[in-house]
């Protein structure tokens, strides 16, 4: 059987349609790849920055916190308390597994904090009084600047540190 040379044969209508379809498909793939490259290039050129709130912020005036009370700031995850010696700030993150500790007044004379997830309990100063928490609540830096209480949640201080008023 003799071989037929396809290149010398005239192109049928079916061949033109197939060729046009393959060219369209190839051009579409090239367009999608080019668009993906351009999007990647634009994302590379724009800064990838995570904006976080400042770690140092004002919480109010000293006079706003009566002796023996607690100022709860849930958005910043801190408690600011005042006793006879002065003011101090504690993190509201439980030292057991990182749950959010809640403030509760058990009675008029007793303020405490508790972890609703695992049952840890802390006294007014943040000391562990019950539950699985291994250590007291972390204390963060608190200072007075022009009569305003300023907290820095990035800087921890030793437990029992009090800012004198």
- Name the residue with tokens 């699985």: 132
pLDDT digits (tens, 9 = 90+) for 36-55: 999 999 998 888 888 888 88
The whole-number average pLDDT for the span 25-37 is 95
pLDDT for res 36: 95
Q: Are 139 and 90 in contact (CB under 8 A)?
A: yes
pLDDT bucket at 107, cuts 50 / 70 / 90: low
Alpha-carbon distance values, 6 to 3, 15, 38, 59, 108 (Å)? 9, 12, 41, 86, 100
Candidate from 11-25, 82-96, 113-127 with smallest mean pLDDT: 11-25
Domain ranges of the chain: 13-45, 56-164
Residues in the chain: 165
Is 151 within 8 Å of 161 (Cβ atoms)?
no
The predicted-structure confidence for 77-98, as pLDDT tens digits, reads as follows 898 888 888 888 998 888 888 8
Query: Which option is the CATH number for 56-164: 2.30.30.110, 2.30.30.90, 3.40.50.2300, 2.102.10.10?
Result: 2.102.10.10
Q: Is pLDDT above 60 for 1? A: no
SS3 state of residue 12: coil
Q: Measured between alpha carbons, how far is 94 from 128 in angstroms, rounded to an integer?
A: 10
The beta strand positions in the chain, using DSSP E, are: 56-61, 70-73, 78-82, 86-91, 102-107, 110-114, 121-122, 128-130, 139-145, 148-157, 163-164
pTM: 0.65
What the block records as the tokens of 2 is: 């003799």
């Amino acid at each position: 059987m003799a071989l037929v040379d396809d290149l010398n044969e005239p192109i049928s209508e079916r061949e033109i349609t197939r060729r046009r379809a393959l060219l369209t498909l190839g051009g579409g793939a090239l367009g999608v790849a080019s668009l993906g490259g351009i999007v990647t290039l634009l994302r590379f050129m724009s800064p990838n920055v995570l904006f976080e709130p400042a770690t140092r912020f004002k919480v109010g005036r000293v006079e706003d916190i009566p002796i023996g009370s607690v100022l709860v700031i849930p958005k910043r995850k801190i408690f600011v308390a005042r006793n006879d010696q002065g003011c101090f700030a504690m993190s509201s993150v439980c030292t057991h597994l990182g749950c959010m500790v809640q403030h509760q007044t058990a009675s008029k004379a007793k303020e405490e904090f508790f972890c609703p997830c695992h049952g840890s309990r802390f006294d007014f100063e943040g000391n562990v009084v019950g539950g699985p928490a291994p250590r007291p609540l972390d204390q963060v830096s608190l200072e007075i600047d022009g009569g305003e209480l300023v907290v820095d949640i990035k800087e921890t201080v030793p437990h029992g540190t009090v800012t004198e008023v």
